[in-house]
Structure 1
């Protein structure tokens, strides 16, 4: 065969092939070239800039005792501290048999004014300053909106066919009976705990509302951690919790109107706009299920994310909360579609980052030192905790059992509906900001929310008898 001589380009490339190292110049020549081509130009740059240096300083971009930290650096540092602390506390409570969400809330409380900021106030002026926590709160709210949408995908309305009456009875009984018990406590404690200028009706109604809440985001997280996703019980309870919280937000609008924070027209507008959003999402769901194949092939992750955010904006604008729009969209979205499955697989950042930030930022707002060493205050707090847990578990378990559910399943429904979590804390912050409750009542109700949430996991110790949904 005729051999071909290598081209000049091939010969040049062969010098860099393995086994044929290129020739290197002597060390002295290398040092001389480095001085001429690197060190000398760098020195000329320094000399040029130094000759024009005026000694002025830029506007301060730091904050507190760490002036060198820019706003972005402080946000990133706060994220690192929060994620690290919540991971440690979450791991600790999981070793005790509790869901990680309890540890994440506790981690936020430890970083807040109760412990860390009380011992080292400089931390609050730097990494956890108000401008930083406000940015983190927006990030956290985005995470919970996406997570609740994923939780809505697990609720399949067809699997609840024939159980609509059970759903209504459980949700409404779990709302009204704790509302009655809480309102009674509010009337009895009005003279001692109500802020000056607040009437008995809004104060008692707000305390009753606090006892009647079920936290949908935290409940969805506990159900996921315990591996109950895809069961009929989880779908029933999540749907009942969603109905419960919609009523709770509407009732909160009424309380704010009665307390002077709003008007009667605002209450009517909230109810009307919420009904319109639900009707629009229901129509969208019917259309999606009728055009399932074309929708699954045409809609990508980007458009789906846009729709999720718009649904959250709609319910936030109506005065309820952004999470309910995302949850409702998740319920009506065909969970078996390709796009929905891709969205589920692409949400891997929620678990380690966004959700811990959501739980921790709420814990940062809680100050457990407000009760002090007053034995009477702690006794009143214990009464609130016992009444809240007994009323919620008893009412929902009785409703589920009366509708024909087995005793063990009915008790599990009651235990899950007792989860209050951060929806409760968000509502409590609204009431505190509006002046309906004072800091002492706020702290008692926060402790009640944490105690009831910690008790929730005890009702999901195993999956014996769990009825899985059809694929």
Structure 2
């Protein structure tokens, strides 16, 4: 005889109440005994709000950077100018000064260390992709020009920076900091050229494939490799506790570079030429492990994780499925999420309020003047000396003077190591923003004087609007 459906339903209801509802109620009673719910409250306070605040901070940072980048492009600047500016606006200079309570809600101090972790990962992948994009074939046939211009554009501003550091040391050096690391970081910060920003500027003004564009990129390639190597040496000198430590760090760094160049590079080339394309596409995510391992190696050596990632990018084979995957996946995630967090982190450490009084702003102006004179002037004079006309030489100087994100990486390292004070860090960030913003309009103006076919700086806004 078949049971009726009502009796089956009552039985199921009884089982559910007895084996689900009753155990849940009893468990809740037991869990709420003793500390009046303090454990529950503590758990909510320590986990829930922190995650919510972190997600809110990420959303605010990414949204602000994208809007500011779009606005910068509307006035003819590369998006990175707006993104860096957005980071400064979100920090104590503007948002923290005008609306402290709002700043504490949007980007509370408790989430800043977590933002920094993600930002550091972004920097590691940024410098790896920068190394991957270096086209060393540009050096063929232009070795003398590239060597002279790039090295003059490093040596002259470095010397001027060290000279200015002698005057600024007693006023702006952190307590307990030595003169040698202070002067070295000061000199390096004056010598940087941001290769990725330069590529974006040349694309936007229509000179990427022109002769002057290739010449400038060639100089920037040599400049980039030299500057990162010099920075690695400066970090070794700064962090090592003795002369033996410095020598050991330099030797380990040289061994690391030799290992990647002589062993890893040939192995990677064989891999991409002999393994089927389908297998390479499946193995592409493993390349991320290589980036992280190389970054970890140089961090352990003592020359910062970014140097290992950069060298791995330089030796990594191009024009293969793995490189394409890295550009599409890692590049997109880095640009869309991680780098805006780095801009915000740099902005949170930039406090324009520290520049109180006319004396501080005079120092800021002096730093900007020395930076532009050394980089712009040195590059232009070197280009003129090796045969370029004045308009092209000044155009090279204007383009080599852009510093952008690469400068922020260097400055944050100096601040983290206690070599740069917050006040000097703020001055150098302002210098980086202004010198980078100068590059596109000045390069366009000198190009037009030379008769080159460029998109006029003031017409780019209307051209985008029409598009």
Q: Who is 1:154 aligned against? A: 133
Q: Who is 1:294 aligned against? A: 274
8 Å contact from structure 1 (residues 309, 326) kept in 2? yes
Distance 1:116 1:61 in 2: 31
The structure with the largest alpha-carbon Rg is 1
8 Å contact from structure 1 (residues 312, 321) kept in 2? yes
Query: Displacement of 1:223 after TM fit?
Result: 5.8
1:379 aligned onto 2:354: no
Cα gap change, 1:409 to 1:288, in 2 (>3 Å): farther
Distance 1:91 1:203 in 2: 36
Distance 1:92 1:286 in 2: 44
2:224 to 242, 246, 253: 242
Q: Who is 1:16 aligned against? A: none
Distance 1:353 1:317 in 2: 27
SS of residue paired to 1:336: coil
Once the two structures are superposed, the pairs formed by residues 321-340 of structure 1 within 5 Å of their partners are 321-340=304-323
Q: Who is 2:265 aligned against? A: 285
Q: Which runs of 5+ in 2 are unaligned?
A: 1-5, 455-467
- How far does the alpha carbon of each residue in 1:74-113 deviate from its partner, in whole angstroms, 9 at most, with x for none? 2222111111121222222222222111221121112212
SS of residue paired to 2:38: coil
SS of residue paired to 1:349: helix
Query: Displacement of 1:370 after TM fit?
Result: 0.2
| Greater relative contact order (CA < 8 Å, ≥ 6 in sequence) | 2
Q: Who is 1:57 aligned against? A: 38
Q: Which runs of 5+ in 1 are unaligned?
A: 1-28, 467-471
Farther-moved stretch of structure 1 (155-164 vs 188-197): 188-197
Q: Please state which structure has a larger fraction of its residues in helix.
A: 2
Distance 2:188 2:439 in 1: 19
Query: Displacement of 1:392 after TM fit?
Result: 0.5
Cα gap change, 1:56 to 1:104, in 2 (>3 Å): same
Query: Displacement of 1:122 after TM fit?
Result: 4.4
SS of residue paired to 2:311: helix
Once the two structures are superposed, the pairs formed by residues 353-392 of structure 1 within 5 Å of their partners are 353-372=337-356, 374-392=357-375
1:274 to 245, 253, 259: 253
Query: Displacement of 1:411 after TM fit?
Result: 3.6
Once the two structures are superposed, the pairs formed by residues 80-91 of structure 1 within 5 Å of their partners are 80-91=59-70
TM-score using structure 1 length: 0.77
Distance 1:446 1:268 in 2: 32
- How far does the alpha carbon of each residue in 1:209-247 deviate from its partner, in whole angstroms, 9 at most, with x for none? 322233456556656777777773464244223223224
Q: Who is 1:450 aligned against? A: 433
Distance 1:181 1:421 in 2: 20
Distance 2:402 2:260 in 1: 27
Distance 1:325 1:435 in 2: 22
Q: Who is 2:163 aligned against? A: 184
TM-score using structure 2 length: 0.78
Cα gap change, 1:324 to 1:200, in 2 (>3 Å): closer
Cα RMSD of the aligned pairs, angstroms, is 3.7
Farther-moved stretch of structure 1 (107-116 vs 248-257): 248-257
Q: Who is 1:210 aligned against? A: 189
SS of residue paired to 1:58: helix
